[in-house]
Amino acid sequence: MMKHIASFLLVLFIPALALGTPAKAPGAIRIGALYASSGPFASSSLPQYHGLQFWVNQVNKSGGVLVKAYGKRIPIKLIAYDNQSKTSLAGTLYSQLLTRDKVNMLVADFGSVLTSVAVPLARVHRTLLFDVTGTSARFFTPGNPYIVLTSLPTSGIWPTTLANFLIHRKIRRIALLYSTNDFDDSQAKTLRRKLKAAGITPVYDHGVPSNTSSYAVLIHGIAARRAEAVIELGYPNNDIAFLQDLKASGVHFNLVFTVFPGQLLSLMKKNVGDKVLTWTYTYPTPPLLKHRRINYGPTLADFISSYTRDTRREVNFLTIAGYNAGLIIQKTLETSASLKPLAMRRAIGKFSGRIKTLNGLFKVNTEGAQIGETLPVGQLQRVNGKLRMEVVYPLKVKTAEARYPAPRPTH
Protein backbone atom coordinates (compact mmCIF):
# COMPACT_ATOMS: atom_id res chain seq x y z
CA MET A 1 0.00 0.00 0.00
CA MET A 2 2.76 2.40 1.02
CA LYS A 3 4.54 1.56 -2.25
CA HIS A 4 1.48 2.57 -4.24
CA ILE A 5 1.10 5.83 -2.34
CA ALA A 6 4.78 6.64 -2.91
CA SER A 7 4.43 5.91 -6.63
CA PHE A 8 1.34 8.10 -6.81
CA LEU A 9 3.11 10.97 -5.07
CA LEU A 10 6.10 10.64 -7.36
CA VAL A 11 3.91 10.69 -10.46
CA LEU A 12 2.13 13.73 -9.06
CA PHE A 13 5.14 15.76 -7.97
CA ILE A 14 7.94 14.98 -10.40
CA PRO A 15 6.40 16.96 -13.28
CA ALA A 16 5.59 19.77 -10.88
CA LEU A 17 9.16 19.81 -9.64
CA ALA A 18 10.47 19.79 -13.19
CA LEU A 19 8.23 22.67 -14.18
CA GLY A 20 8.99 24.68 -11.07
CA THR A 21 12.78 24.44 -11.29
CA PRO A 22 14.22 27.37 -13.20
CA ALA A 23 16.83 26.50 -15.84
CA LYS A 24 20.36 26.64 -14.44
CA ALA A 25 21.89 30.03 -15.11
CA PRO A 26 25.20 30.04 -16.99
CA GLY A 27 28.31 31.22 -15.15
CA ALA A 28 28.78 33.96 -17.73
CA ILE A 29 27.16 35.37 -20.85
CA ARG A 30 29.68 34.68 -23.61
CA ILE A 31 30.03 37.41 -26.20
CA GLY A 32 32.29 36.80 -29.20
CA ALA A 33 33.97 39.68 -30.99
CA LEU A 34 36.78 40.33 -33.46
CA TYR A 35 39.10 43.30 -33.79
CA ALA A 36 41.94 44.25 -36.13
CA SER A 37 45.15 45.32 -34.40
CA SER A 38 46.95 45.76 -37.73
CA GLY A 39 46.11 46.35 -41.38
CA PRO A 40 43.92 48.95 -43.08
CA PHE A 41 40.99 48.66 -40.65
CA ALA A 42 43.01 48.87 -37.42
CA SER A 43 42.54 52.61 -36.84
CA SER A 44 38.76 52.19 -36.92
CA SER A 45 38.44 48.69 -35.46
CA LEU A 46 40.44 49.27 -32.28
CA PRO A 47 38.42 52.22 -30.91
CA GLN A 48 35.21 50.28 -31.62
CA TYR A 49 36.59 47.25 -29.76
CA HIS A 50 37.83 49.41 -26.86
CA GLY A 51 34.33 50.88 -26.50
CA LEU A 52 32.82 47.40 -26.27
CA GLN A 53 35.54 46.25 -23.87
CA PHE A 54 34.84 49.27 -21.64
CA TRP A 55 31.13 48.38 -21.51
CA VAL A 56 32.02 44.81 -20.47
CA ASN A 57 34.31 46.09 -17.70
CA GLN A 58 31.67 48.53 -16.44
CA VAL A 59 28.96 45.86 -16.38
CA ASN A 60 31.17 43.31 -14.65
CA LYS A 61 32.19 45.88 -12.01
CA SER A 62 28.53 46.14 -11.05
CA GLY A 63 28.15 42.36 -10.74
CA GLY A 64 27.18 41.57 -14.31
CA VAL A 65 24.26 42.25 -16.58
CA LEU A 66 20.69 41.64 -15.46
CA VAL A 67 19.42 38.67 -17.45
CA LYS A 68 15.63 38.45 -17.43
CA ALA A 69 15.68 34.80 -18.54
CA TYR A 70 17.31 33.84 -15.22
CA GLY A 71 16.14 36.72 -13.06
CA LYS A 72 19.64 37.58 -11.85
CA ARG A 73 22.85 39.39 -12.68
CA ILE A 74 25.36 37.35 -14.69
CA PRO A 75 28.87 38.50 -15.61
CA ILE A 76 29.90 38.97 -19.22
CA LYS A 77 32.78 37.03 -20.71
CA LEU A 78 34.14 38.76 -23.80
CA ILE A 79 36.03 36.37 -26.11
CA ALA A 80 37.86 38.38 -28.76
CA TYR A 81 40.34 37.52 -31.49
CA ASP A 82 42.55 39.60 -33.76
CA ASN A 83 41.78 39.22 -37.48
CA GLN A 84 44.56 41.57 -38.67
CA SER A 85 42.08 43.16 -41.14
CA LYS A 86 42.01 39.89 -43.15
CA THR A 87 38.60 38.61 -44.21
CA SER A 88 39.74 35.01 -44.60
CA LEU A 89 41.18 34.94 -41.08
CA ALA A 90 38.08 36.76 -39.83
CA GLY A 91 35.95 33.93 -41.24
CA THR A 92 37.98 31.30 -39.40
CA LEU A 93 37.81 33.29 -36.16
CA TYR A 94 34.06 33.99 -36.35
CA SER A 95 33.66 30.27 -36.94
CA GLN A 96 35.89 29.56 -33.94
CA LEU A 97 33.67 31.77 -31.77
CA LEU A 98 30.53 30.05 -32.99
CA THR A 99 31.63 26.45 -33.02
CA ARG A 100 34.37 26.11 -30.40
CA ASP A 101 33.71 28.92 -27.93
CA LYS A 102 29.94 28.54 -28.27
CA VAL A 103 29.25 32.21 -27.71
CA ASN A 104 25.72 33.39 -26.90
CA MET A 105 26.01 36.23 -29.39
CA LEU A 106 28.46 37.78 -31.84
CA VAL A 107 29.62 41.37 -32.21
CA ALA A 108 30.95 42.11 -35.70
CA ASP A 109 34.20 43.92 -36.39
CA PHE A 110 34.29 47.39 -37.94
CA GLY A 111 32.82 48.09 -41.38
CA SER A 112 31.12 46.12 -44.12
CA VAL A 113 34.15 44.17 -45.38
CA LEU A 114 34.94 42.52 -42.04
CA THR A 115 31.25 42.12 -41.20
CA SER A 116 30.45 40.44 -44.54
CA VAL A 117 31.92 37.06 -43.53
CA ALA A 118 30.05 37.06 -40.22
CA VAL A 119 26.58 37.51 -41.72
CA PRO A 120 26.17 34.06 -43.39
CA LEU A 121 28.03 32.31 -40.55
CA ALA A 122 25.78 33.78 -37.85
CA ARG A 123 22.77 32.81 -39.90
CA VAL A 124 23.83 29.22 -40.48
CA HIS A 125 24.76 28.79 -36.80
CA ARG A 126 21.56 30.54 -35.68
CA THR A 127 23.36 33.08 -33.49
CA LEU A 128 22.41 36.72 -33.18
CA LEU A 129 24.95 39.06 -34.78
CA PHE A 130 25.20 42.59 -33.40
CA ASP A 131 26.49 44.53 -36.38
CA VAL A 132 28.08 47.76 -35.14
CA THR A 133 29.17 49.64 -38.27
CA GLY A 134 28.65 47.27 -41.23
CA THR A 135 26.06 49.39 -43.01
CA SER A 136 25.85 47.60 -46.37
CA ALA A 137 22.20 47.11 -47.34
CA ARG A 138 23.06 43.59 -48.63
CA PHE A 139 23.28 42.24 -45.10
CA PHE A 140 19.66 42.94 -44.26
CA THR A 141 17.38 40.53 -46.07
CA PRO A 142 13.84 39.40 -45.22
CA GLY A 143 14.85 35.77 -44.57
CA ASN A 144 17.59 36.55 -42.06
CA PRO A 145 16.46 37.35 -38.51
CA TYR A 146 19.95 36.85 -37.05
CA ILE A 147 21.37 40.36 -37.55
CA VAL A 148 20.81 43.73 -35.86
CA LEU A 149 22.58 46.94 -36.84
CA THR A 150 23.23 48.92 -33.69
CA SER A 151 24.98 52.21 -34.35
CA LEU A 152 24.47 53.71 -37.76
CA PRO A 153 21.70 53.65 -40.33
CA THR A 154 22.40 51.75 -43.57
CA SER A 155 24.61 54.00 -45.65
CA GLY A 156 21.93 54.69 -48.25
CA ILE A 157 20.03 56.73 -45.63
CA TRP A 158 22.99 58.90 -44.62
CA PRO A 159 22.75 61.73 -47.18
CA THR A 160 19.01 62.32 -46.80
CA THR A 161 19.46 65.45 -44.68
CA LEU A 162 22.43 66.60 -46.75
CA ALA A 163 20.31 66.50 -49.92
CA ASN A 164 17.55 68.48 -48.19
CA PHE A 165 20.12 71.03 -47.03
CA LEU A 166 21.51 71.54 -50.55
CA ILE A 167 17.99 71.92 -51.94
CA HIS A 168 17.03 74.27 -49.10
CA ARG A 169 20.07 76.49 -49.78
CA LYS A 170 19.21 76.48 -53.52
CA ILE A 171 22.68 75.25 -54.45
CA ARG A 172 22.45 74.00 -58.00
CA ARG A 173 26.03 73.55 -59.26
CA ILE A 174 26.97 70.48 -57.26
CA ALA A 175 29.94 68.16 -57.84
CA LEU A 176 29.66 64.58 -56.61
CA LEU A 177 32.95 62.73 -56.14
CA TYR A 178 32.74 59.32 -54.47
CA SER A 179 34.79 56.22 -53.82
CA THR A 180 33.53 53.14 -55.58
CA ASN A 181 32.70 50.92 -52.66
CA ASP A 182 29.43 49.75 -51.18
CA PHE A 183 29.46 52.37 -48.41
CA ASP A 184 30.04 55.45 -50.56
CA ASP A 185 28.27 54.33 -53.71
CA SER A 186 25.00 53.80 -51.84
CA GLN A 187 25.28 57.35 -50.46
CA ALA A 188 26.01 58.74 -53.92
CA LYS A 189 22.95 56.95 -55.34
CA THR A 190 20.64 58.39 -52.67
CA LEU A 191 22.04 61.88 -53.09
CA ARG A 192 21.77 61.74 -56.88
CA ARG A 193 18.17 60.48 -56.68
CA LYS A 194 17.07 63.15 -54.22
CA LEU A 195 18.74 65.96 -56.12
CA LYS A 196 17.23 64.75 -59.38
CA ALA A 197 13.77 64.77 -57.77
CA ALA A 198 14.40 68.46 -56.98
CA GLY A 199 15.44 69.12 -60.58
CA ILE A 200 19.18 69.28 -59.87
CA THR A 201 21.67 67.33 -61.96
CA PRO A 202 25.23 67.32 -60.57
CA VAL A 203 27.61 69.24 -62.82
CA TYR A 204 30.26 66.63 -62.01
CA ASP A 205 29.50 63.03 -61.03
CA HIS A 206 32.49 60.74 -60.81
CA GLY A 207 33.47 57.56 -58.94
CA VAL A 208 37.09 56.75 -58.12
CA PRO A 209 38.68 53.58 -56.69
CA SER A 210 38.75 53.40 -52.89
CA ASN A 211 42.55 53.36 -52.88
CA THR A 212 42.78 56.73 -54.70
CA SER A 213 45.41 58.86 -53.02
CA SER A 214 45.76 61.75 -55.45
CA TYR A 215 42.86 64.10 -56.08
CA ALA A 216 44.65 67.09 -57.62
CA VAL A 217 43.56 66.47 -61.21
CA LEU A 218 40.01 65.67 -60.10
CA ILE A 219 39.79 68.90 -58.05
CA HIS A 220 40.87 70.98 -61.03
CA GLY A 221 38.35 69.10 -63.16
CA ILE A 222 35.60 70.02 -60.69
CA ALA A 223 36.75 73.67 -60.63
CA ALA A 224 36.60 73.72 -64.44
CA ARG A 225 32.89 72.82 -64.18
CA ARG A 226 32.40 75.89 -61.95
CA ALA A 227 30.91 73.82 -59.13
CA GLU A 228 29.68 75.73 -56.08
CA ALA A 229 29.55 72.70 -53.81
CA VAL A 230 31.76 69.61 -53.74
CA ILE A 231 30.47 66.49 -52.01
CA GLU A 232 33.34 64.04 -51.51
CA LEU A 233 32.24 60.65 -50.18
CA GLY A 234 35.07 58.32 -49.18
CA TYR A 235 36.80 56.38 -46.42
CA PRO A 236 39.10 58.28 -44.00
CA ASN A 237 42.14 57.86 -46.27
CA ASN A 238 40.17 59.29 -49.21
CA ASP A 239 38.93 62.26 -47.18
CA ILE A 240 42.46 62.99 -45.97
CA ALA A 241 43.97 62.81 -49.46
CA PHE A 242 41.15 64.92 -50.90
CA LEU A 243 41.45 67.67 -48.27
CA GLN A 244 45.26 67.71 -48.49
CA ASP A 245 45.11 68.08 -52.28
CA LEU A 246 42.39 70.72 -52.00
CA LYS A 247 44.64 72.74 -49.71
CA ALA A 248 47.65 72.29 -52.02
CA SER A 249 45.67 73.23 -55.14
CA GLY A 250 44.57 76.64 -53.84
CA VAL A 251 41.14 76.03 -55.39
CA HIS A 252 38.20 77.38 -53.37
CA PHE A 253 34.62 76.13 -53.34
CA ASN A 254 31.66 77.69 -51.56
CA LEU A 255 30.85 74.41 -49.87
CA VAL A 256 32.99 71.32 -49.28
CA PHE A 257 31.50 68.21 -47.68
CA THR A 258 33.43 65.11 -46.56
CA VAL A 259 32.29 62.19 -44.40
CA PHE A 260 34.90 61.53 -41.72
CA PRO A 261 35.68 64.87 -40.02
CA GLY A 262 32.41 64.21 -38.19
CA GLN A 263 33.53 60.80 -36.97
CA LEU A 264 37.30 60.94 -36.61
CA LEU A 265 38.06 64.59 -36.04
CA SER A 266 41.40 64.07 -34.25
CA LEU A 267 42.69 61.88 -37.06
CA MET A 268 41.61 64.42 -39.66
CA LYS A 269 43.14 67.33 -37.71
CA LYS A 270 46.40 65.45 -37.38
CA ASN A 271 46.57 64.74 -41.09
CA VAL A 272 45.18 67.86 -42.74
CA GLY A 273 45.33 70.56 -40.07
CA ASP A 274 42.67 72.88 -38.65
CA LYS A 275 42.90 75.44 -41.42
CA VAL A 276 41.62 73.26 -44.24
CA LEU A 277 38.95 71.74 -42.00
CA THR A 278 37.52 75.15 -41.13
CA TRP A 279 34.11 75.65 -42.83
CA THR A 280 34.08 72.02 -44.03
CA TYR A 281 30.68 70.32 -43.84
CA THR A 282 30.24 66.78 -42.57
CA TYR A 283 27.87 64.36 -40.82
CA PRO A 284 28.40 65.12 -37.12
CA THR A 285 28.21 62.07 -34.88
CA PRO A 286 28.74 61.70 -31.11
CA PRO A 287 30.84 62.96 -29.34
CA LEU A 288 30.64 65.95 -31.71
CA LEU A 289 26.86 65.61 -31.73
CA LYS A 290 25.11 65.63 -28.38
CA HIS A 291 21.81 63.79 -28.24
CA ARG A 292 19.23 65.06 -25.77
CA ARG A 293 16.63 63.20 -23.72
CA ILE A 294 18.70 60.04 -23.33
CA ASN A 295 16.65 57.35 -21.55
CA TYR A 296 19.10 54.45 -21.47
CA GLY A 297 22.74 54.34 -20.38
CA PRO A 298 25.02 57.23 -19.40
CA THR A 299 24.96 60.69 -20.89
CA LEU A 300 27.71 61.60 -23.32
CA ALA A 301 29.50 63.76 -20.73
CA ASP A 302 29.43 60.97 -18.13
CA PHE A 303 30.68 58.43 -20.64
CA ILE A 304 33.56 60.64 -21.82
CA SER A 305 34.55 61.38 -18.25
CA SER A 306 34.58 57.74 -17.07
CA TYR A 307 36.09 56.35 -20.27
CA THR A 308 38.99 58.78 -20.39
CA ARG A 309 39.61 58.38 -16.64
CA ASP A 310 39.68 54.55 -16.80
CA THR A 311 41.40 53.97 -20.12
CA ARG A 312 43.43 57.15 -20.73
CA ARG A 313 42.21 56.95 -24.32
CA GLU A 314 40.46 59.55 -26.42
CA VAL A 315 36.79 59.13 -27.27
CA ASN A 316 35.76 59.17 -30.92
CA PHE A 317 32.62 58.07 -32.70
CA LEU A 318 33.77 54.47 -33.05
CA THR A 319 34.41 54.19 -29.31
CA ILE A 320 30.83 55.29 -28.74
CA ALA A 321 29.59 52.89 -31.45
CA GLY A 322 31.33 49.95 -29.71
CA TYR A 323 30.01 51.01 -26.30
CA ASN A 324 26.53 51.51 -27.74
CA ALA A 325 26.54 47.94 -29.11
CA GLY A 326 27.14 46.87 -25.49
CA LEU A 327 24.16 48.94 -24.32
CA ILE A 328 21.88 47.35 -26.92
CA ILE A 329 23.07 43.89 -25.82
CA GLN A 330 22.40 44.88 -22.20
CA LYS A 331 18.86 46.00 -22.97
CA THR A 332 18.29 42.81 -24.97
CA LEU A 333 19.36 40.62 -22.05
CA GLU A 334 17.27 42.68 -19.62
CA THR A 335 14.13 42.20 -21.67
CA SER A 336 14.43 38.85 -23.47
CA ALA A 337 12.57 35.90 -21.99
CA SER A 338 15.34 33.53 -23.04
CA LEU A 339 18.83 33.50 -24.50
CA LYS A 340 17.60 31.92 -27.72
CA PRO A 341 18.49 34.19 -30.65
CA LEU A 342 14.99 34.53 -31.99
CA ALA A 343 13.66 35.39 -28.53
CA MET A 344 16.37 38.05 -28.22
CA ARG A 345 15.50 39.34 -31.69
CA ARG A 346 11.84 39.62 -30.65
CA ALA A 347 12.86 41.50 -27.50
CA ILE A 348 14.85 43.94 -29.66
CA GLY A 349 11.78 44.45 -31.85
CA LYS A 350 9.82 45.40 -28.74
CA PHE A 351 12.22 48.06 -27.43
CA SER A 352 13.16 49.31 -30.90
CA GLY A 353 12.14 52.95 -31.25
CA ARG A 354 11.77 53.36 -27.49
CA ILE A 355 15.30 53.77 -26.26
CA LYS A 356 17.64 56.64 -26.83
CA THR A 357 21.27 56.21 -25.86
CA LEU A 358 24.25 58.54 -26.10
CA ASN A 359 24.43 57.37 -29.73
CA GLY A 360 20.88 58.48 -30.49
CA LEU A 361 17.57 56.74 -31.09
CA PHE A 362 17.79 52.98 -31.52
CA LYS A 363 15.20 51.83 -34.01
CA VAL A 364 15.47 48.90 -36.43
CA ASN A 365 13.20 47.69 -39.20
CA THR A 366 11.98 44.10 -39.55
CA GLU A 367 15.22 43.12 -41.30
CA GLY A 368 17.40 44.45 -38.49
CA ALA A 369 18.63 47.56 -40.32
CA GLN A 370 18.95 50.71 -38.23
CA ILE A 371 16.48 53.41 -39.22
CA GLY A 372 16.22 55.40 -36.01
CA GLU A 373 19.09 57.76 -36.44
CA THR A 374 19.26 60.51 -38.95
CA LEU A 375 22.54 62.20 -39.61
CA PRO A 376 22.26 65.98 -39.56
CA VAL A 377 24.56 68.29 -41.50
CA GLY A 378 27.31 69.91 -39.48
CA GLN A 379 29.92 72.54 -40.28
CA LEU A 380 33.28 72.95 -38.60
CA GLN A 381 33.29 76.63 -37.68
CA ARG A 382 35.98 78.75 -36.13
CA VAL A 383 34.75 80.22 -32.86
CA ASN A 384 37.17 82.26 -30.71
CA GLY A 385 40.08 80.84 -32.66
CA LYS A 386 38.97 77.25 -32.05
CA LEU A 387 37.43 74.73 -34.39
CA ARG A 388 33.91 73.81 -33.30
CA MET A 389 31.31 71.48 -34.77
CA GLU A 390 27.97 73.20 -35.30
CA VAL A 391 24.82 71.52 -36.53
CA VAL A 392 23.46 73.66 -39.38
CA TYR A 393 20.60 71.52 -40.69
CA PRO A 394 17.81 70.46 -40.11
CA LEU A 395 16.60 73.78 -38.83
CA LYS A 396 14.86 72.37 -35.73
CA VAL A 397 18.12 70.99 -34.32
CA LYS A 398 20.59 73.53 -35.65
CA THR A 399 23.07 75.07 -33.24
CA ALA A 400 24.41 77.75 -35.60
CA GLU A 401 23.83 79.30 -39.01
CA ALA A 402 25.73 77.75 -41.89
CA ARG A 403 28.52 79.99 -43.21
CA TYR A 404 27.69 79.88 -46.90
CA PRO A 405 29.55 80.66 -49.05
CA ALA A 406 32.57 79.61 -47.02
CA PRO A 407 35.07 82.48 -46.55
CA ARG A 408 38.21 82.24 -48.64
CA PRO A 409 41.20 81.14 -46.56
CA THR A 410 43.70 83.86 -45.74
CA HIS A 411 47.30 82.98 -46.49
Q: In angstroms, rounded to a whole number, what is the distance separating the alpha carbons of residues 108 and 96?
A: 14
CB of 113 to another protein, least distance (A): 6
Interface mask toward another protein for 103-132; x: CB under 8 A: ----------x--xx-xxx--x--------
Closest-CA residue to 406 (of 301, 254, 263): 254
Given 60, 84, 271, 374, the residue binding another protein (CB under 8 A):
84
Q: How far is CA 40 from the centre of its chain?
A: 18
Alpha-helix runs per DSSP H in 234-335:
236-249, 265-272, 274-277, 300-311, 317-335
Q: In angstroms, rounded to a whole number, what is the distance separating the alpha carbons of residues 340 and 326?
A: 18
How many residues lie near another protein (CB under 8 A)? 34
Do 370 and 363 contact (CB within 8 A), yes or no? yes
Given 141, 160, 311, 335, the residue binding another protein (CB under 8 A):
141
H/E segment holding residue 261: none
Given 7, 10, 13, 92, the residue binding another protein (CB under 8 A):
92
Secondary structure of residue 280 in the 3-state scheme: coil
For position 205 contacting another protein by CB under 8 A, the verdict is: no
Interface mask toward another protein for 165-204; x: CB under 8 A: ---------------xxx--x-------------------
Q: In angstroms, rounded to a whole number, what is the distance separating the alpha carbons of residues 286 and 303?
A: 11
Q: Is 108 left (phi over 0), alpha (psi -120 to 50) or beta?
A: beta
For position 347 contacting another protein by CB under 8 A, the verdict is: no
Given 52, 56, 93, 321, the residue binding another protein (CB under 8 A):
93
CB of 95 to another protein, least distance (A): 3
For position 366 contacting another protein by CB under 8 A, the verdict is: no
For position 254 contacting another protein by CB under 8 A, the verdict is: no
CB of 69 to another protein, least distance (A): 25
Q: In angstroms, rounded to a whole number, what is the distance separating the alpha carbons of residues 232 and 234?
A: 6
H/E segment holding residue 183: helix 182-197
Judged by CB under 8 A, the chain residues 17 through 56 that form the site for another protein are: 37-38
The residue ranges that bind another protein (CB under 8 A) are: 37-38, 81-82, 84, 86-89, 91-96, 99-100, 113, 116-117, 119-121, 124, 138, 141, 143, 180-182, 185, 207, 209-210
